[in-house]
Amino acid sequence: MRYWGLFIAKLAAVFGVAAALKWLIRAVVPIGYTATRFGHAPFSHDLAYTTAMMVYTLICIGLLALVVIDQKYRCRTCARRLRMPVNSGSWSAATIFAPPRTEFICPYGHGTMTQPELQIAGRETAVWVEHKDIWEELESLGPKR
């Protein structure tokens, strides 16, 4: 729930910035004579306004991409940034049996995200594996009593 709440909050912030930027463009960029005289919409009839709106669109797409990329590398439970990237697999010989991938882990042990680095059979998505109890898992790897 926290994961999606943070995502919605970041999207709301981006939409707020986009609305403020659009208001600023309309306030600062002058509309040309042709657009105002004949009642045309300024977009595609006024070069300065059209250029400003194209730059505005690129900025908005960039902000949305930053939000999505940032969200991808967050814990699905606590929404903290995933840490400790560990590379595994091999680029040279065993790309079929051990494809290269990067694993990220939540600093509080909620889960692990495995990001495939090799896209042989189409686009492969990251896999999130939630840990039930990381301490129990770690104790099972230690010496037997």
- Summarize as ranges the residues that interact with Zn ion (CB under 5 A): 75, 77-78, 106, 108, 110
Q: Are 111 and 128 in contact (CB under 8 A)?
A: yes
Beta carbon of residue 127, minimum distance to Zn ion (angstroms, whole number)? 16
Beta carbon of residue 71, minimum distance to Zn ion (angstroms, whole number)? 14
At residue 123, the 3 state secondary structure works out as: coil
Q: Are 74 and 6 in contact (CB under 8 A)?
A: yes
Q: Which residues contact 2 (CB under 8 A, 6 or more apart)?
A: 77, 78, 79
Beta carbon of residue 112, minimum distance to Zn ion (angstroms, whole number)? 10
Q: How far apart are CA 81 and CA 104, in angstroms?
A: 9
Which of 49, 110 has the CB closer to Zn ion?
A: 110
Residue with tokens 């919409």: 41
Which of 40, 76 has the CB closer to Zn ion?
A: 76
Which of 63, 110 has the CB closer to Zn ion?
A: 110
Which of 59, 137 has the CB closer to Zn ion?
A: 137
Beta carbon of residue 74, minimum distance to Zn ion (angstroms, whole number)? 8
Residue 35 has a CB neighbour count (10 Å cut-off) of: 17
